[in-house]
Structure 1
Amino acid sequence: MPMPRSPRRRSLAAAALLLLPAAARAQVVRGTVLDVGDRAVPGVVVTLLDASSAVAARALSDERGAYRLLAPGPGTYRVHTLRIGFRPVTSAPVTLAAGEELTRRLVLTGVALALDTVRVADRAACRVGSDTATATFALWEQARGALTATQLTAATRSLGATIITYDRVLDPDGRRMRDQSLAARFGYVVQPWKELSADSLHRLGFVVSDADGSTTYHAPGLEALLSATFLTDHCFRLARSRDPSRIGIAFEPVPARRKADIRGTIWLDRKTSELRDLEFGYVNVSEVQRDRAGGAIQFVRMKDGAWAVSRWSIAMPELEPALPYSMRGAAQPRVAAIRVAGGELALATLGRDTVWASTPLVVVGSVLDSATNAPIADARVALLGTRHEARTDTAGRFRVEGVIPGEYTVEVHTPALDSLVAAQRVTVTLAEGAPPVRVRVASPVRVLAMLCGATTLRPSDGVVFGTVAAAGDTAVPRGVRVIAEWTERAAEDSAARVRWREAPSDAQGTFRLCGLPRATPLVLRAAGGDLGADPVPVTIGVGDRVARARLVLDRRADRGAMFRGVVLDDATLRPIAGAEVAMPEIARRVSTDERGAFRMTDVPAGEHRVLVRFPGFRAIDARLPFAPNGTTDRRIFLTLEPAR
Structure 2
Amino acid sequence: MRTIRPSLPRVPAIIPAALLASALLAPLPASASAKGAPSSLMATQAADGTIQGELVEEGTGRPIAGALVVLMNEAGARLTATLTDTDGRFVLRVRNAGRYSLRAERVGYATTTSRTIDLEDGATVTQRLTARVRGVELQGIAVRARSRCERTPDAGPATQLLWEEIRKALESTAWTQQEGLHTYVVRHWTRDMGPVTLRIARETTRMDTTAASTPFRTAPAAELRDRGWVQAEDGETVFYGPDAAALLAPEFLETHCFRAVPHPTDATRVGLAFEPVRGRGRPDVRGTLWVARDSAALREMEFGYTGLEGSAYDRRMGGWVNFDRLASGAWIVRRWNIRTPMIRESRPGGAIAEPEQQIVAFREDGAEIMEVRPRGGEARMLGVFGSLRGTVWDSTAAAPLAGALVFLEGTEYTAATDSTGSYVMDGVPPGIYGLSFAHARLDSLGYEPPFMDAAVAESAVGQAALAVPSMGRIVAMQCADSAGAVLYGTVNNAANGFPLPAAAVRLAWPDDSAPGGLARAERTTDTRGRYLFCGLPAGVSVRVSGEFVGRPLPTATLALAQDAPREHAIAADALGRIQVGGFTMTTGARAPVRVSGRLTMINGAPLASGMSVHLVPMRLAEGDTASPRQVPVRENGEFIFGRVIPGEYQMDVVDASQRMLSRPLAVGGGESMQVDLEIDPATFSMDPVIVTARPRMGVLTFNREQIVAEMKHSTHAMEMLRRVREVIVTPSRCVGLRAEMNYYRPYSRSTPYRPLCRPMTIIVDGVPLEPRDNLLRVLPLEEIESIEILNPHAAASRYPNNPLGVMLVTTRRPASRAPAAP
> Which is further off, 115-124 or 294-303?
115-124
> What secondary structure is seen at the aligned counterpart in 2 of 1:2?
coil
Q: 1:128 to 1:362 in 2, by over 3 A?
A: closer
In the alignment, which of 238, 251, 257 is matched to residue 216 of structure 1?
238
Residue aligning to 2:206: 183
Aligned ranges 1:575-590 → 2 under 5 Å: none
Aligned to 2:295: 272
The structural deviation recorded for 1:240 is: 1.5
Q: 2:101 aligned to 61, 78, 89, which one?
A: 78
Which residue does 2:371 correspond to in 1? 347
| Aligned equivalent of 2:604 | none
Q: CA deviation at 1:258?
A: 2.6
Q: Aligned pair in 2 of structure 1 residues 329, 54: CA closer, same or farther (>3 Å)?
A: same
Counterpart residue identity of residue 303, structure 1: A
Provide the secondary structure at the position in 1 that maps to 2:136: coil
Alignment partner of 2:269 out of 246, 257, 260? 246
Q: Residue 286 of structure 1: CA displacement?
A: 2.4
Are the equivalent residues in 1 in contact too, given 2:737–2:804 (CA < 8 A)?
A: no
Q: Which range moves more in the overlay, 240-249 or 440-449?
A: 440-449
User: How many aligned positions are there?
Assistant: 420
Q: CA deviation at 1:40?
A: 2.5
2:192 counterpart residue number: 169
Answer whether contact 2:230 2:237 (CA < 8 A) is retained.
yes
Equivalent residue for 2:732, pick from 435, 439, 455? 439
Q: Which sits farther off after the overlay, 286-295 or 256-265?
A: 286-295
CA distance in 2, matches of 1:376, 1:440: 16
Q: What is the correspondence of 1:301-320 to structure 2 with a 5 Å cutoff?
A: 301-320=325-344
Q: Counterpart of 1:293?
A: 317
Q: Are 1:28 and 2:50 matched, yes or no? A: yes
Give the Cα–Cα distance (whole angstroms) in 1 for the partners of residues 106 and 369 of structure 2.
Answer: 23
Say which of 109, 134, 138 aligns to 2:132: 109
Which residue in 2 is equivalent to 1:89? 112
**Equivalent position SS for 1:136:** helix
Q: Which amino acid in 1 is paired with 2:732? A: V
Query: How far did 1:193 drift?
Result: 1.6
Aligned equivalent of 1:68: 91
**Are 1:99 and 2:122 counterparts?**
yes
Change (3 A) 1:93 1:209: same
Given residue 24 of structure 1, which amino acid in structure 2 is its aligned partner? Q
Structure (1 or 2) with the larger CA radius of gyration? 1
Task: Please list the CA deviations of residues 273-308 of structure 1 after superposition, one character each: whole Å capped at 9, or x if unmatched.
Answer: 111111111112225435231111111111121111
Cα offset, 1:270, TM superposition:
0.9
Distance 2:428 2:316 in 1: 33
User: Is this contact kept in 2: 1:2–1:15, CA < 8 A?
Assistant: no
Q: Which residue of 2 aligns with 1:120?
A: 143
Q: Does the C-alpha gap of structure 1 residues 314 and 32 become closer, same or farther in structure 2, counting only changes over 3 Å?
A: same
Q: Secondary structure at the match of 1:85?
A: coil
Q: Is the 8 A contact 1:2 1:14 kept in 2?
A: no
What does 1:202-213 correspond to in 2, within 5 Å? 202-212=225-235
The structure in which a higher percent of residues are strand is 1
Pairing 1:11–2:11 present: no
C-alpha distance in 1 between matches for 2:105 and 2:263: 25
Distance change (3 Å), C-alpha of 1:56 and 1:128: closer
- Distance apart, 1:194 and its partner CA: 1.9
Aligned to 1:198: 221
CA distance in 2, matches of 1:338, 1:289: 11
User: 1:249-286: CA deviations, max 9, x gaps?
Assistant: 11112224333221111111111111111111111222
Kindly indicate whether the alpha-carbon contact (under 8 Å) linking 2:227 and 2:282 is maintained by their aligned counterparts in 1: yes
Q: Which runs of 5+ in 1 are unaligned?
A: 367-373, 378-389, 406-415, 417-424, 429-436, 451-464, 467-500, 515-644
CA distance in 2 between partners of 1:143 and 1:334 (Å): 38
- Percent identity between the aligned chains? 27
Determine if contact 1:283/1:290 at 8 Å carries over to the other structure: no
Q: How big is the shift at 1:361?
A: 4.8
The TM-score, its normalising length taken from structure 1, stands at 0.57
> RMSD value over aligned CA atoms?
4.1
Cα distance in 2 for partners of 1:391, 1:330 equals 51
Contact 1:14 1:192 in 2 (8 A): no
Contact 1:347 1:404 in 2 (8 A): no
Query: In the alignment, residue 255 of structure 2 is paired with which amino acid?
Result: D
Name the residue aligned to 2:169.
146
Q: Which amino acid aligns with 2:50?
A: V
Cα deviation 1:371-393 (Å, max 9, x = unaligned): xxx9879xxxxxxxxxxxx9983
Q: Does 1:236 align with 2:273?
A: no
8 A contact 2:300–2:323 mirrored in 1: yes
Of 19, 38, 55 in structure 1, the residue corresponding to residue 78 of structure 2 is 55
Deviation string 1:215-241 (CA, Å, 9 cap, x unpaired) is 111111122222233222211111111
Equivalent-residue separation in structure 2 for 1:194 and 1:310 (angstroms): 16
Q: Decide whether aligned partners of structure 1 residues 92 and 365 sit closer, same or farther in structure 2, where only a CA change above 3 A counts.
A: same
Q: Where does residue 330 of structure 1 map in the other structure?
A: 354
State how far apart, in whole Å, the 1-side matches of 2:381 and 2:794 are.
50
User: The residue matched to 2:52 in structure 1 has which SS?
Assistant: strand
| Aligned partners of 2:20 and 2:243 also within 8 Å | no
The one-letter amino acid paired with 1:10 is P
> For the structure 1 residues 396 and 256, does the alpha-carbon distance in structure 2 shift closer, same or farther, using more than 3 Å as the test?
same
**Match for residue 2 of structure 1?**
2
Distance 1:171 1:359 in 2: 24
Asked if 2 retains the 8 angstrom alpha-carbon contact of 1:503 and 1:512, the reply is no
- What secondary structure, in the 3-state scheme, does the structure 1 residue paired with 2:111 have? strand
Q: Does 1:225 align with 2:518?
A: no
Provide closer, same or farther for how the CA distance between residues 73 and 314 of structure 1 changes in structure 2, counting only shifts above 3 A: same
Matched-pair contact (CA < 8 Å) for 1:25–1:73: no
Distance (whole Å) between structure 1 residues aligned to residue 804 and residue 170 of structure 2:
63
Task: Encode CA deviations 1:92-127: one digit per residue, 9 max, x unaligned.
Answer: 111222222222222222631110001113333137
Alignment CA distance shift 1:512-1:341 (3 Å) = closer
Aligned to 1:615: none
Alpha-carbon shift at residue 150 of structure 1 (Å): 1.1
Q: How big is the shift at 1:347?
A: 1.6
CA 1:375–1:303 in 2, change beyond 3 Å: closer, same or farther? same
SS at structure 2 position matched to 1:146: helix
Q: Structure 1 residues 505, 352: closer, same or farther in 2, change over 3 A?
A: farther
**What's 1:477 paired with?**
none
State the one-letter code of the partner of 2:2.
P
CA distance in 2, matches of 1:363, 1:68: 50
Counterpart amino acid of 2:329?
A: G
CA distance in 2: counterparts of 1:14 and 1:102, whole angstroms: 42
Alignment CA distance shift 1:391-1:55 (3 Å): same
Distance 1:282 1:29, change over 3 A: same
For 1:172 and 1:403, the matched residues in 2 are separated by: 22
What pairs with 1:313-462 in structure 2 (closer than 5 Å)?
313-324=337-348, 330-350=354-374, 351-355=376-380, 357-359=382-384, 361-362=386-387, 393-394=418-419, 399=424, 427=718, 438-439=731-732, 446-447=739-740
In the alignment, the residues of structure 1 paired with residue 153 and residue 299 of structure 2 have an alpha-carbon distance, to the nearest angstrom, of 26
Pick closer, same or farther for the CA change 1:14–1:505 going to 2, 3 Å.
farther
CA contact under 8 A between 1:19 and 1:156: conserved in structure 2?
no
